[in-house]
Homo-oligomer: A and B are copies of this chain.
Amino acid sequence: MDLAVADVPDGAIVMFGGFGGAGFPNNLIQGLARRGARNLRVISNNCGTGDGELGILFKNRQIRHVVAAFPGPGATYFQQQFDAGEVELELVPQGILCERMRAFGAGIPAFYSPVGVGTDVAKGKEERVIRGKRYILEQALGADYAFIKAYRADRMGNLVYRKAARNFNPIMATAAKITIVEVDEVVETGTLDPETIVTPSIYVDRIVVAKGIHNA
């Protein structure tokens, strides 16, 4: 576990999968807490639940900047540091957060979006009328590392997920230089049905088997 995250340097950009308590790579997060890398720039739908999920990294003051859609009322450490001006936040609509990651993985540098037109989200962004409708320009969003959670991997790195724990994980796998996945179990290559693989092995760099941790 600690080996898998041992090369994450200070200042790294790291994405974390998970939504609504499901699909968080909690063992990898705790490994990163032990590793102690600082000044991290993180990308995640939310900012932790107490000490759980990303909470421990905020508690340890390892995070300097966060891109999130919904930091969450339970993100105690983040909220304290945000109110104190100790952590920077870029607040992004959830679908656009996903879409910007997908664009990065797909080699698309920027795209026009209808979301946020006329709102605070549009501030500082180019606006353009296309076929009579207003849009804003959104930029691709990539990372140095993606920490994701899957259900099962084969030895080659093909992944399947479990129920709504899929959420951000497959898209983050495509948007980072190094994707590290935490899984419940590893199976022999060739035993996952090629029709049902959600994340092909090409997107996975490291696999760690660990018992899932659920933060209610």
Q: Check A108 against B111 for contact (C-beta < 8 Å).
A: yes
A116 to chain B, nearest CB (A): 12
A176 to chain B, nearest CB (A): 17
Chain B: CB-nearest residue to A103: B111
Say whether A20 faces chain B, with CB atoms less than 8 Å apart: no
Cα–Cα distance between A105 and B82 once the two chains are bound (Å): 37
* Interface of chain A residues 110 through 135 with chain B (CB within 8 A): 110-114, 130-131, 133, 135
Q: Check A99 against B106 for contact (C-beta < 8 Å).
A: yes
Q: Check A111 against B114 for contact (C-beta < 8 Å).
A: no
Say whether A160 faces chain B, with CB atoms less than 8 Å apart: yes
Q: Which residues of A contact B (CB under 8 A)?
A: 99, 103, 106-114, 130-131, 133, 135, 139, 160-163, 193, 195-196
